[in-house]
Structure formats: C-alpha cells, structure tokens
Amino acid sequence: MTRIPDCLFREKIGEGECPYILPGEEELRENRELRIRRKCLYCKRLLDLILDERDTRGFLLKVALEELREKDRIIRDMKGFLKLQKEQITVLHRVSEILNLSLDLREIAYVVLLSITAGELFGFNRSILLLYDREARRFTGYFGMGPRTPEEAVKIWEEIERERKSFPMLLESFTIEKFEEEKKKFLDILRALETEIDEGTEAFIFGGKGALLIRKKGAEFPFFRKIFDVLRTPFYVLLPLKTKEGPIGVIIADNFVTGLDIEPERTESLEIFAYQASLAIHRAALHRYLEDKLKELEELNAALKQYNEKMAKMEKMAAVGEIIHHITHEFKNPLIVIGGLSKELLKETDSSDPRHRYLMAISEEVERLLDILNRTVEDARRRFSVRREPVDINSLLESRLREYAPLFKAKNIEVSFHKDEAVPPVMADPSQIQVCFDNVIFNAIEAMPEGGRLDIKSERNSGGSIRISFKDTGIGMSEDVMKRIFEPYFTTKKKGSGLGLYNTKEIMKAHGGDIKVESQEGEGTTVYLIFTGGEHGGEGKEGEDTLRR
C-alpha cells in the first residue's frame, strides 16, 4: 500500500517539497491548514491514494471534494468581483464629487461622457450628449467623446495601455482646451443630430421607461432612425436625462467598434448614474442661466446709470433755460421801462435841476444792468447752444431700442417698430432728439410695471412732416393729469423730476416740431413726436447754433 505523503501532516514543509506552491506563495509552506485548503485539494498524488471509487467512503469524499473545489472557485470569482466593485465604487465616488461640486457645464459633460466610455466603468466605445429645449421640443448637440473610426479607437486604447492612464488620471486631466478639441471632433455629428421631435416621441423617451436599448429593426420613431443614419451603428443605448422639473437631454452610447452587445445589467447601472448626471447638468445649466441674467442686469444698470446722467444734464440745461427765461422776462422788461422813464424825465430837466444828476445815475445804472444781463444771456447761449445736422430718425430710434432691449426683456415688455423707409433726414441735434426718445420710452416702461406692449411707428405725412408714435398698453392718465403733463416739475411718480415731458416739448419746439399726447386711464397712452419739413425742417440751418430754453 502506497504511503500518504507526510507533508500532509507537518505544519511546515521545505522549499520544493510541494510542486503546487508557486513563487509568491511561500506563506503556504508554513501554514498547514491554509496549504491543505489551497493546494492539497488539487494534489493528484494525494487524491489518487485516498479516493478509491470502489470504496463508498472514497466515492463520497470525491464528490465532496469536487463540490468543495466548485465552492472555492466561486469564492475566488466573488473576491475578484468584489475587488472590481470596490475599484468602481472608488472611481464613482470621485466622479460624484466632481458632479456635485462643479458648476461648469463643460466639465460636467466631459466627466459624464468619460464615465460612459471608460473601461473601468461602463465601457462603451462612444457617447454623445444632446440637450433638450422643452419649449421648442428640440434636441441640440452639446458634446461627444470617443473615437471616430476603428483605427482611432485602436490608437487611443493602445496609448492608454502604454502610458498606463487610469480613469482617475483621465478625470484630473480635464481642461477647457481638451473639451473644445474633443467637441470639435464631433461637430458634424452633433449638428446632424439636432432635431425637433413630436409629443409622442418626447413621451416615449422621457415617460419613465429608463434606459432604452434601440435596435435598428425596432426604431419606431423618426428621431431613432435618424440616430442610426448618423452614427451607422447596429444598436445603441438612449439614456434619458431628467429631473422633477422636466426633461434635460439624452446620452447616446454605442459599441460601433467592438460590436459587443449591451447587457441589461449595464443599462440598470446607467440609469442610476443618469440621475446624478441629470442633477449636475440641470444645476450647471441653471447657474449659467443666472450668470447670463446677472450680466443682463449689469448691462441694464449701466444703461440706466448712463440715462440718469443724461437726464441730470438735461435737467441742468432746463434749469438754466428757465433762469434765462425768468431773467429776460422778469428783469429785462422792467429795466427797459425804468430806463425809458428816466430818459424822458431827463429831457424835461436841465443840468441845473437838483434831480438831474439822480436821473442820470438811474439811467446809467439801468444801461449797466442791461449790459450785464445781455452778457449773461449771451454766455448761457454759448454754453448751452446746440448744432444741427442731418439726422436719420429711424436709425437713431433703432439704436435707442437696442440699448433698452435688456430693460424691455427684464420688464416683460414686447416692442415692435414699424418704420417708414421714406422718412428723410431731419435737421436736428441728435443728442437732443435722443433725449426726447429716451424720455418717451422710459415713461412708457414705467407705465407698464407688470409688462405689456410698446408699438412704435415712423411715418411721413402728405404735408411733408414726420411723425413718430409711441403707443403703450400701460395704466394711462386721467384728464386732470393730462392737463398738467407739460408743466415743469409736475410729476405723479414717487421719484421723478417732473421735467421729462417738459424738456421734450421744449426740444421739439426748438426744432420747429411738436409733441402730442393721447391717453385714457386704464388703457394706455400714445405719444406723437412731430418734425416738420423733413430735411429742411426746423429752425436754423446746418451748423447754426440755437438755444433751447
């Protein structure tokens, strides 16, 4: 009878005694229990001795050993699987950190599609992100990642293997330049996939079915067939991205190089990943929207500041005009009367009359005061004069509407401008006419605090005059207010100088034009700015100075 090897009974064995112990497994030579489980179960010499199928006990032991081997294999496989799962969880944890912290839509798109294509995670050959506009019901291509051809795929995979680029390394390598470079590679595909879909397609994609595995024979919607035409792939996964606010977009992933089928288990993992990706994309898109709104508000604030500065300047000019007007009418006329009377009295008195020298003093002082007054008026005229030049009313008005566009949008005001191309240039000071436009437009905006509509129209009448109408759907004005709108310093606003329409009327008068207002309380207001005579209208010729009082 063959003797059972004594290595089975010894706690420690020497080097080379067991041919099944491989390099790196030296610990097994000093651990009998572990050595039996790992090696003795597979030792042919030992098994031949103890397993004799003619012996019932030997047969049962053989069956038990085979079962034990199978369990051992399963345990080994499970250990390998758990190790892989642990590595994937570590990688996904890093991905989650980026998706939770980043507000850059480009970085989020890059990380999401990298995760879809990385071998350590989902391992697809190629992935594409389309964003969805719910109002237009339209998909727009945003980003793509992966090879474009099988040759490029082999080159990329060999480079990753050669340089030992792990997924965490690829994650940390994100730059805006790399994003733009990868996107540029997919531009033709992204543009080709831009499309509008109908309500039925939208409901099918985002209706709660999760990840959709689309095969060419089952492509029931035109959008699905279009993806096949563009990508030229036998099948793909369509991964809906959505939050409780609604659809965000889709990720398209395929294996156009390897042709590997897509396992159902992988689509389940994708659905879990898609939810986190959806939240990150939604948050980044919202952040970008708020940034755009903030920029608009900053531009609007700058425009309002510029407008207020112009209005302050015009109010100063209006105040100077009022002072000049007051001096001219309230001081000059009485002085002329006093001077005239003193001269008449001088004619009736000779030099020997004691009153003569007093009358002379009065007459001389009147002349001196009139001279001071005239010089003051002339100085004001020089400082506040305007120069006329040909002004394209349509172009000037369009430029003002462009500047006010952010304010119209913020106030929810719809604006239309119907211009008459036959309107000729008018001789005017463009800065003064701009102030008129600003005053009327700003009044219309303030009259529509809840939003509304402003219709503007330019037209040339048969008599040659030019009329610009501004019709708003605001709160309108009562008859009592209408009677006083052109009075200086009259206002119904909490914050207002009361000089806006007064200035506008004075400017239009100085240009030989006029302003008319129609309004009905609760229905809106229409303001008409009227220029007479077209190119040759208004007082003053080109280059001539005039003063607006």
The residues of the chain that CATH labels 1.10.287 are 298-386
Tens digits of residue pLDDT in 450-502: 899 999 999 988 778 899 999 999 999 988 888 888 887 677 766 555 667 88
- Phi/psi for 436 (5° steps) reads -60, -50
pLDDT tops 70 at residue 329: no
In whole angstroms, give the CA distance from residue 461 to residue 141.
Answer: 51
Which of these ranges, 178-182, 210-214, 361-365, 371-375, has the smallest mean pLDDT? 371-375
The residues of the chain that CATH labels 3.30.565.10 are 389-547
Tens digits of residue pLDDT in 371-387: 787 777 666 655 555 67
Tens digits of residue pLDDT in 105-121: 999 999 899 988 887 77
Residues in a beta bridge with 236: 214
Which of these ranges, 150-154, 219-223, 532-536, has the smallest mean pLDDT? 532-536
Q: Which pTM does this prediction carry?
A: 0.52
Query: Between 233 and 497, where is the model more confident?
Result: 233
pLDDT tops 80 at residue 368: yes
- Phi/psi for 247 (5° steps) reads -65, 145
CATH number of 389-547: 3.30.565.10
Quote the pLDDT of residue 81: 57
Place of tokens 């000089």: 499
Quote the pLDDT of residue 55: 54
In whole angstroms, give the CA distance from residue 138 to residue 120.
Answer: 33
pLDDT-derived band at 542, boundaries 50, 70, 90: very low
Quote the pLDDT of residue 468: 94
Tens digits of residue pLDDT in 135-166: 899 999 999 999 999 899 889 888 888 888 87
Quote the pLDDT of residue 334: 76
Quote the pLDDT of residue 545: 43
Angle between helices 56-101 and 105-117 (to 10 degrees): 160
DSSP 21-44: PPTT-GGGGG-HHHHHHHTGGG-H
Quote the pLDDT of residue 439: 87
- CA 399-405-410 angle, 5° bins: 160
Query: Between 435 and 59, where is the model more confident?
Result: 435
What does the mean pLDDT of the chain come to?
A: 81
How far CA 401 is from CA of 52, 398, 469, in Å, comes to 101, 5, 14
Which of these ranges, 231-235, 259-263, 324-328, has the smallest mean pLDDT? 324-328
pLDDT-derived band at 177, boundaries 50, 70, 90: very high
Quote the pLDDT of residue 249: 93
The residues of the chain that CATH labels 3.30.450.40 are 99-286
CATH number of 298-386: 1.10.287
CATH number of 99-286: 3.30.450.40
Work out the average pLDDT over 6-25: 84
Quote the pLDDT of residue 381: 58
Quote the pLDDT of residue 121: 78
Quote the pLDDT of residue 415: 94
In whole angstroms, give the CA distance from residue 58 to residue 51.
Answer: 5
pLDDT-derived band at 392, boundaries 50, 70, 90: very high
pLDDT-derived band at 218, boundaries 50, 70, 90: low
Quote the pLDDT of residue 473: 93
Tens digits of residue pLDDT in 35-93: 877 777 677 777 776 665 455 455 556 656 676 777 777 777 676 556 555 656 666 66
pLDDT tops 90 at residue 196: yes
Highest averaged pLDDT of the listed ranges 28-37, 186-195, 258-267, 288-297: 186-195
Residues of the chain above pLDDT 70, percent: 80
